[in-house]
Structure 1
Amino acid sequence: MICVAGIIVHQESVCAMYGSGLSSACVVDIGDQKTSVSCVEDGISHRNTRLCLTYGGSDVTRCLFWLMQRAGFPYRECQLSNELDCLLLQQLKETLTHLDQDISGLQDHEFQVRHPDSPALLYQMRLGDEKLQAPMALFYPASFGIVGQKMTSLQHRSHGDPEDPHDEHYLLSTQSKQEQSAKAAGDRKALPKSGLYDDARGQSVDGLDRAHMQEAELGSSQNNCMIPGNDPEEPPSAAFSRKNAMSQFEGKVLGLDKAILHSIDCCASDDTKKKMYSSILVVGGGLMFHRARQFLQHRILNKMPPSFRRLVDNVEVVTRPKDMDPRLIAWKGGSLLACLDTTQELWVFQREWHRFGIRMLRERAAFVW
């Protein structure tokens, strides 16, 4: 914030929706080191559906390098710590790997190694199933060899920010107090006046009762905020499924297809789930393999709940909306968002940030911060 004049803060999944031109979709963002899944409906990212997987395209590159070494990779000086070698492995991954199960058998390949102030070296190698096994590791993450680490994380409820006096907990508690006050005022108007109390005494007693009710409501809201996953905005069924998901998946290996199915299953209604199954948007540069769209679509179709197979007409996986580069879709959506007349009030300028700090995000962000 110090070096820029102003920014607009928005969610990457929503920006991908703007860039692709879709209204609702399950957005799968496969980056270099992480993969995120979120269901977006009409420009709103549902918090219960957000997952973050701690693997991405670089893990596929590392897996391919290990498989090629087992197959007799001729460039024995190749090191993952060398930037030029990493670019070479990235190029080999993008040109050789695929997810077409109809391709089998050994094939000969050539590649060149170029270093500054050195002649180009030509190498030959023979690869078979290694070209399929490397991208397949996205669906079987145990192949990455990082099972012991936290592989899957869900979005927890915010614990508040001490620098933000109007954080989420404050808004929830004051909202409950206002609703309770409005309800108590409506009940007082609806009740007939009693002869035992005069008008002034009735008002004072009603005010004391309302104060006690507000304190009880405030205490209840604060207690609920301390329970992870307990959101007053969530229906009981969604909160229950979310708690089960946290205990079942968090910290465990979760393949790409299973993560998508779990994210869609966390949607609140069946209509929303049908929308998500009908439009799965894959962005980022981590799944740019031959036949990747058909392979992912086949796995989702085979593993989706049987009850939805009769309701969903077609499971559609979109990897290149409008023939655009999937690595640039979120950036394009962000640039479009910044140019809209309706988003000009979302800008956070440098002088405002220096004066109010993180509180400006509460006022200007287009989503619940």
Structure 2
Amino acid sequence: MTQADKELENGKEKEKERDKEKEKEQQRGVKRPIAPAAIAEPLQEQIQSNFVIVIHPGSRTLRIGRATDTLPVTVPHVIARRHKQSGQPRYEDTWLLREGLNKPESNEQRQNGLKMVDQAIWSKKMSNGVRRTPVSAEQARAYNCQIRPAVLDSSSRAKWTNTSHHPPYLVGDEALYVNPSDCYNVHWPVVRGQLNVHSGAGGSLTAVLADLETIWSHVIQKHLDIPLKDLKYYRCILLVPDIYNRPHIKEIVNMLLLNLGFSAIIVHQESVCATFGSGLSSACVVDVGDQKTSVCCVEDGVSHRNSRLCLAYGGSDVTRTLFWLLQRAGFPYRDCQLTNRLDCQLLQHLKENICHLNQDISGLQDHEFQTRFPEAPAFLYQIRLGDEKLQAPMGLFYPTTFGIVGQKMTSLQYRSQGDSEDPHDEHYLLATQNKQDQSSKSVADRKAVSRLGGGLDGEVEEPLSTHLSRKTAIISQFESKALGLDKAILHSIDCCASDETKRKMYSSILVVGGGLMFHGAQEFLLHRIINKMPPSFRRLVDNVEVITRPKDMDPRLISWKGGAVLACLDTTQEMWIHQREWQRFGLQLMRRGFSAVTLASVFSEDRHGVTPHAYTCSVGVYLPHPPPPIGGVGIVPILRFILPIRLLPPGGPGGPLSSLKPDIAELPRFDKSGFTIVLKNRLKNSTPSQKRSISRDSPQGAWALLPSTRPLDTYTIVYKL
């Protein structure tokens, strides 16, 4: 018997066995599946939360831990690197000092800001209905200048970090206590929520990324007790600011997946994670950090792009202002310097203990503090203070008090600068869209072209270049202003698409971060929001609520806790970016993720009836390889995209909606750049084809109407990933 005959006989035997199995199943009443097993949905891998590490990198503090941990490990986000050569000049990143403080106008601006603060303090009555009696700095100065410190101990018991074994680097508290005479450079890799790239020593992007990798790997090994070789079994959730630098995030993801070796990663925005951690479905999230303050409206796990604001000030600016006020009041510790990192720690401790936003606390009060520095005795100081304790934190509402001149103080969501690994990005879409607009201009001059602000179909809109130049001018003028915290919140809520969303935001203002942890802050912020909100909304909003400690949790840990909650949700299983996917697709995965947020925002806008003149239907789109969104759609299943399709009736805006009944003509077609849905119009009379495109840069569902010259009976929906 030949080999071919043997194979034929074996095939017949296998076929007989399959027939016998079918007969047995029919006898048992078992129904065979209609679809073959080869195309069944793959089983999702059950992810263990104790193998997920949540990283929340702040400007001053790093919070990191397993998703199952009750509290994260908290360490100063600083590193000290030993000089490679002897005699190398020493370099240290400043903590409280920043650019724009030593301008000729700085002191005048600071004084003007203080006058506005004093006026605001006087205008608000105390709870007993009486106005506060102002206390001048001279009254406190007369007492403080006579104070001499008391020696508590000949040795402070604080010691410099031991560097006798010449470690190449020191991390956290060890870096803070490195002796200035040692040959080490001190770096803070994150400043105001962004990578600290500068022209000084260790300021290149490569050096900053190396600092991050060293700090994070050191903490993972030392505090989490996880060897680096085992990170291939772990996944990572990285929290990023609401207004992020996309190229920097790309490099950080590269570092985590390719250098440290995590098996997968989710990158999520801080504001969305804050709502997860607090258990709120919708909120205006106000994150007051050490060096920046971000405001963003989040609804159902979606961060509204237009509502994002980043203010370039935070708790460290309050600390520096307090030091200026203490000096005016005769601060008894006269050797205090803002260039000394240990003095900065002392001032930070003083701010946390004595500052408040309670109008009922007035008059002169006595306080005491200790100084414990290495190689020096421990001293006890007495100090008498008045309104300084209230004036310093009020700088958050009157930023001119910080005395910062010539710096960009307010940032909006800006466009990505593009990346060579991501050719089909927003710039590509705009360029190709402009060409289409130019070719159709002679046919339809009055048709609307795509614009950032969006609008109803049929409205006459200005050309894209004109709109962008006007928008750039408005943003430049807006960013030069230093918005107070209350005004920033009102502006963010006002940018929401519908009145219903605005009501939700006013009823749930969530304050997280450690920059506003002052006694009386909740009542103070609530009072200012109610007094400054638009009069039309005062009648519509039933209850304005400011939440500073949801579930009695530390507000500094809310966002990290939200990242831990995210790791436990079933809906996040499809959000993971794996090593192989990242190596193959790179930045395109992140762009896909942000597109999911745009889809959710569009659906939300149509749901609230913003487009009454357009026919709206919803199509469920299932991606074969669902993208892992960075901005996140929260509890919405990632596998299913609800794509709202708005089509004008044949008679134009206001025409009979019943005359237009689109139906899906064929299954969505997928390619490398996105997917296409074709809708067939069930009308007897043919109508012009309308091709609609949406990209991740179209905030709140800004659709582009591209008319065609051929009369067809189909509508094509093109979605570019």
TM-score, normalised on structure 1? 0.80
Answer yes or no: is 1:300 the counterpart of 2:529.
yes
Q: CA deviation at 1:335?
A: 1.4
**Does the 8 Å contact 1:29/1:37 carry over to 2?**
yes
Cα distance per residue 1:341-364 (max 9 Å; x no partner)? 221221223343333322221242
Tell me the number of residue pairs that the alignment of Structure 1 and Structure 2 aligns: 326
CA contact (8 A) 1:14 1:40 kept: yes
Do residues 350 (structure 1) and 571 (structure 2) align?
A: no
Q: For the structure 1 residues 65 and 335, does the alpha-carbon distance in structure 2 shift closer, same or farther, using more than 3 Å as the test?
A: same
Partner of 2:296: 38
1:243, 1:311 → 2: CA distance?
A: 33
Does 1:231 pair with 2:231? Answer: no
Identity across matched positions, percent: 72
Deviation at 1:14, TM superposition (A): 0.4
- The 1:77–1:100 alpha-carbon spacing in structure 2 relative to 1, beyond 3 Å, is same
Match of 2:270 among 6, 12, 21: 12
Q: Report the counterpart of residue 112 of structure 1 in structure 2.
A: 370
- Give the 3 Å change call, closer, same or farther, for CA 110–232 of structure 1 in structure 2: closer
**Given the superposition, is the C-alpha separation of residues 58 and 51 from structure 1 closer, same or farther in structure 2, using an over 3 Å criterion?**
same
| Counterpart amino acid of residue 383 in structure 2 | M
Are 1:326 and 2:555 counterparts? yes
3-state SS in 2 of match to 1:149? coil
2-side partners of 1:170 and 1:234: how far apart?
A: 22
Tell me if structure 2 keeps the 8 A contact 1:112–1:120: yes
Q: Which moved more, 1:355-364 or 1:33-42?
A: 355-364
Q: Could you tell me which residue of structure 1 aligns to residue 346 of structure 2? A: 88
Higher relative contact order (CA 8 A, sep 6+): 1
Say whether 1:62 aligns with 2:62.
Answer: no
The 3 A distance-change label for structure 1 pair 243 and 262 is farther
Moved more, 61-70 or 354-363: 354-363
Q: Deviations over 1:8-35 (max 9, x none)?
A: 0111110111001001111111111111
Residues 125 and 4 (structure 1), Cα distance of their counterparts in 2 relative to 1, 3 Å cut: farther
Choose which of 422, 433, 437 in structure 2 pairs with 1:164.
Answer: 422
Change (3 A) 1:249 1:215: same
Cα offset for 1:250? Answer: 1.7
Superposed displacement of residue 314, structure 1:
1.4
Task: Provide, for residues 76-113 of structure 1, a one-character-per-residue CA deviation record: whole Å limited to 9, x for no partner.
Answer: 11122222211111111011000111111111111000
Question: How many angstroms does 1:340 deviate by?
Answer: 1.9
Counterpart position of 1:140: 398
Give the superposition deviation at 1:286.
Answer: 0.4
- The 3-state SS of whatever aligns with 2:524 is helix
The residue number in structure 2 matching 1:3 is: 260
Structure 1 counterpart of 2:410: 152
Alignment of 1:186-201 (within 5 A): none
User: 1:97 and 2:318 equivalent?
Assistant: no
CA distance in 2: counterparts of 1:213 and 1:310, whole angstroms: 44
Shift in Å, 1:160 = 3.7
CA distance in 1: counterparts of 2:335 and 2:418, whole angstroms: 50
Question: Which one-letter code corresponds to 1:277 in the other structure?
Answer: Y
**Residue pair 2:275, 2:281 contacting (<8 A) in 1 also:** yes
Aligned equivalent of 2:215: none
The structure-2 alpha-carbon separation of the partners of 1:124 and 1:213, relative to structure 1 and needing over 3 Å to count, comes to closer
Seen in structure 2, the aligned counterparts of structure 1 residues 247 and 20 have a Cα distance that, compared at 3 Å, is same
The worse-fitting range, judged by mean Cα deviation, of 95-104 and 345-354 is 345-354
Q: 1:108 to 1:51 in 2, by over 3 A?
A: same
What secondary structure sits across from 1:10 in the alignment?
strand
Change (3 A) 1:298 1:232: closer
Is the 8 Å Cα contact of residues 147 and 252 (structure 1) preserved in structure 2? no
Correspondence 1:287 to 2:516: yes
Over alpha carbons, which structure has the higher Rg?
Answer: 2
- Counterpart in 1 of 2:386? 128
1:116 to partner: Cα distance: 2.0
Note the residue ranges of structure 2 that are not aligned, 5 or more in a row.
1-254, 462-466, 593-627, 632-695, 698-721
TM-score calculated relative to the size of structure 2 = 0.42
More helix by share: 1
Query: Which of 629, 640, 644 does residue 365 from structure 1 map onto?
Result: 629
Change (3 A) 1:261 1:332: same
Secondary structure of 1:338 counterpart: helix
Matched residue type, 1:266: C
Cα RMSD, aligned residues only: 3.0
Letter in 2 for 1:79: Q
C-alpha distance in structure 2 between counterparts of 1:213 and 1:258, whole Å: 38
- Partner-residue secondary structure (3-state), 1:142: helix
Q: Are 1:22 and 2:263 matched, yes or no?
A: no
Distance in 1 of aligned mates of 2:422 and 2:296? 26
1:19 and 1:290 map into 2 onto residues whose CA distance is 23
Q: Give me the whole-angstrom Cα distance separating, in 1, the residues matched to 2:437 and 2:489.
A: 43
Partner amino acid, structure 2, of 1:296 = L
In 2 relative to 1, CA 242–289 (structure 1 residues): closer, same or farther, beyond 3 Å? farther
Q: Displacement, 1:247?
A: 5.5
Q: What's the offset of the Cα at 1:325?
A: 0.4
Question: C-alpha displacement at 1:115, in angstroms?
Answer: 1.1
Higher strand share: 2
* Residue 79 (structure 1) aligns with: 337
Tell me the distance in 1 between the aligned counterparts of 2:281 and 2:310: 22
State the one-letter code of the partner of 1:335: A
CA contact (8 A) 1:224 1:231 kept: no
1:281 CA displacement: 0.5
- Determine helix, strand or coil for the equivalent of 1:8: strand
Q: Distance in 2 between matches of 1:60 and 1:213?
A: 50
User: CA 1:291/1:78 → structure 2, altered by over 3 Å: closer, same or farther?
Assistant: same
